[in-house]
Structure 1
């Protein structure tokens, strides 16, 4: 790795990524620089799938797993096996790499639930509460019920509004079980929870069979799947940001899934005195058997 300074040349800084909100590529670059101290611990050493936009979020983007051509030699990467070969994923391990992602038009870096040194031993379990309607009070209730059920199994849940429509309930894990075992466990957990709350929760994959129930989506725990990490912007109106919560914020009737944006989340961090998930790793538990 080169000892040269890690400098990112930003091209087309005035190109509007969120045209309706007047948010330019320079703003995304500056945001990643400002949020890096709290964001990097949540993405460090996790293979990244880049959600990139050549023009703006209104015109659509694309996902890229392989590290973009011309990446600086200081951008860390990880080899992830795939059928017939490997994929070289970016590792967003520092501020400069996050800002280089902005230069690539990467609005949302999606990350693995496992770290690169033990790709088959996840240290995060994620349950995505995906609503079929706009009743966010029901989503908040479902998140609290999910958390209660996880605590009853000896695990410690954390909640994050996604910047989209739902809530992620995230559990830090000790790296003792394989991806397959974690996925099998969380599928069984979700099925039991839906069975206990059949009027409001479901594990039904097909939307036309969910009625108004909240979908307990656990698919992101599968092999080579990715999740939206804390503090990642979303390609939606207003540039909302996936934002970790304190658990008691789920009781707040005013809470919205897109409550904080690229322009406002740094103020929230200042008001809180830092990241409410800064110690999440210390709550890691071994996934129970069965």
Structure 2
């Protein structure tokens, strides 16, 4: 079987046992939603999270392109503390489908593009609910949105597909990652001063006292964030999904959208 020039192997292999979703279901999802996900993938180094035997088996993160990846897979060399990585870049549908056929469930992207690796064009407020309360998480998202609005920053919203919410906005590529991260840290500290009972930047979970954690270090060189419209390695095939602020009140969890119901959002 070929789809868009990619040989599909073991299409009937079940990758999501709870929903009985196969590799072909995953490949068809990424094909059908390529128009939505590709703008977020293009031009960025990726970390892949692969589950060749399904999400109920051990998977692995992959930062370096495999030697056997075909020549049409674009790569970029990035410097790391340990030397260098050769990261995959997904700029077209053929690459997306090839990677999905390799058992890639999750696509994690850098906050910068390959032409200016140390100059981020995106900022993410990654919110994690320490206590598991999604209502508190939604409240935190709303107050952060209002806070940023007053500073002239218009942020967008994405469910993480697991437990959290991501508020994000684009920016001009004038700062290094170190400068951008410090700016986000200062904003987070200002927010904590306004909402000390709701928000925290404490790295240790034991020190968060049930507050919503703002993961500002996510805005660092070499760090990644889940790509909007990426599947997540959950049993039901949940999806990191952009939502409108008007939708937030009706969302019951960060796993609201999955392989079974995402087709209703093709218009978004």
TM-score by length of 2: 0.95
The answer to whether structure 1 residue 12 and structure 2 residue 23 are counterparts is: no
Aligned pair partner of 2:125 in 110, 113, 127 = 127
1:69 matched to which residue of 2? 67
How many Å separate the matches in 2 of 1:144 and 1:96?
A: 38
How many Å separate the matches in 1 of 2:71 and 2:12?
A: 26
Q: CA deviation at 1:134?
A: 2.9
Q: SS of the residue aligned with 2:179? A: helix
2:146 matched to which residue of 1? 148
How many Å separate the matches in 2 of 1:196 and 1:187?
A: 14
Contact map agreement 1:137 1:253 (CA 8 A) in 2: no
Aligned pair partner of 1:247 in 237, 245, 263 = 245
Contact map agreement 1:6 1:74 (CA 8 A) in 2: no
Q: SS of the residue aligned with 2:95? A: helix
The answer to whether structure 1 residue 264 and structure 2 residue 261 are counterparts is: yes
| Higher mean C-alpha deviation, range 5-14 or range 253-262 | 5-14
Q: Structure 1 residues 54, 195: closer, same or farther in 2, change over 3 A?
A: same
Q: SS of the residue aligned with 2:34? A: helix
| Structure with the largest fraction of strand | 2
Q: Structure 1 residues 253, 36: closer, same or farther in 2, change over 3 A?
A: closer
Q: CA deviation at 1:254?
A: 4.1
How many Å separate the matches in 2 of 1:31 and 1:110?
A: 17
How many Å separate the matches in 2 of 1:68 and 1:27?
A: 24
2:49 matched to which residue of 1? 51
Q: SS of the residue aligned with 1:187? A: helix
Q: SS of the residue aligned with 1:227? A: strand
- 1:39-89 CA-to-partner distances (Å, cap 9, x unmatched) read 100110010001011311112211111112221211111111124642111
Q: SS of the residue aligned with 2:232? A: coil
Give the length in aligned residue pairs.
266
Contact map agreement 1:124 1:171 (CA 8 A) in 2: yes
Consecutive unaligned residues in structure 1, runs of 5 or more: 276-290
Consecutive unaligned residues in structure 2, runs of 5 or more: none
Q: SS of the residue aligned with 2:33? A: helix
Aligned pair partner of 2:223 in 211, 225, 233 = 225
2:78 matched to which residue of 1? 80
Q: CA deviation at 1:174?
A: 1.2
How many Å separate the matches in 1 of 2:182 and 2:36?
A: 31
Q: CA deviation at 1:198?
A: 1.0
Q: Structure 1 residues 39, 24: closer, same or farther in 2, change over 3 A?
A: same
